[in-house]
Each structure stands twice: as C-alpha cells, then as structure tokens.
Amino acid sequence: MMQPNNLQNKYLESQVQTASPVQLINMLYDGAIKFANFAIAGIRENNIEKKTTNIIKVEKIIIELRTSLNFDQGGDIAKNLDKIYDYMYTTLMDANDQNDISKIESIIKEILIIKDGWQAVIRDYSNGFNKQAASAPKSAYGQTAGYGQGGGGPSIAASKPAYPPQNPIQGLNLSC
C-alpha cells in the first residue's frame, strides 16, 4: 500500500506534468505562499530549522521564476518582474537573518498581487483569448507575460546586475 506522502507526491507530479505554462507559474506562487507561511510559523515557534528550510524553499521558487523569464518576448514586463523577484529574494535573505515576520508577510502580499494578475491571464485564456490569438500572427502574442514555455529559458543568475534593495513594486505599471 502506498504511503500518504507518496500519493501526494504522485498527485503533485501529475498536476505539474499536465499543467499549462501559466498554471505552472500559478503553482509556483502557491508554493511560495505556503512555504512563506510555514517560515512565519517557524519564527513564531522559535524553530530555526523550520524557518530556514521554508525560507530557502521560497528563495528557490523565486530563483525558478527569475530564470524562467523570457526577456526577448516579455519586454518591460519581464524586466519589471525580474526586479521584483530580485527584491523578494533580497528581502527573504534579510528576513531569515533578522527573524523578521513583517518582511515575509510583505513578500506574501507582493506574491498575491502578482498571482492575481496570473489569475486574470488564466481567466482570459480560458474565456476565449486563445481563440482570438490563434487567428493572429504568433509573433504578436509571444509567451504570456514574458515566460518561456514550460518554465525553461536561459539562466540569468550568473549575469544579473545587482539592484538596490528597494521595493520595485511601488510605481510600476504591470498592466498589459
């Protein structure tokens, strides 16, 4: 008989394999929020291992989101998301060092803002946007909000310029 954890892993694996690129991004946001909440619980419980393990999981998700950006097709949106992810990563490192719940909560809020945008993309896509796009030239639409198909794309971690640790979300126009 399969253990409950194995069943969960099989279910998650099946979800990932059958998800669209937009759904995969949404799943990454959900995971980041979940692990950020576990990290907050770790701080409240004075459990350093729980806090650190879960902040590192959120950081890895942020890295995956950054490396999946497609700057050629995503333009300014991809550049803005890159700055936001850089800010989030830096803030998570500070939160880990300082046991700062408010910094983790601010990251959760920012992820929720971006996730709401992705929910709108999913709704538009499932409500027929894909039918309109099918009759137009492919180059006019590219990938959704600058992400490559299936989370791939060139690795940008080694060539990243350092951005000042300020909140890039304020003042950004993320509308399409």
Q: What is the pLDDT of residues 96-148, one digit of tens each?
A: 999 999 999 999 999 999 999 878 877 877 776 555 544 443 433 344 444 44
Contact 32, 113 (CB under 8 A): no
Contact 36, 108 (CB under 8 A): yes
Instruction: Give pLDDT, residue 118.
Output: 78
Number of structural domains (the chain) is 1
- Domain CATH code at residue 60: 1.20.120.340
Residue 2 lies in a domain: no
Instruction: Give pLDDT, residue 128.
Output: 67
Residue 36 lies in a domain: yes
Rounded to two decimals, the pTM is: 0.67
User: Residue 104 is part of which domain span?
Assistant: 20-127
In the predicted model, what is the mean pLDDT of the chain? 76
Residue 141 lies in a domain: no
Residue 64 lies in a domain: yes
How far is Cα 106 from Cα 61, in angstroms, rounded to an integer? 16
Give the residue ranges of DSSP H helices in 48-176: 48-67, 71-98, 101-124, 130-134
Token output for 113: 């803002």
Q: What is the pLDDT of residues 32-49, one digit of tens each?
A: 999 999 999 999 999 999
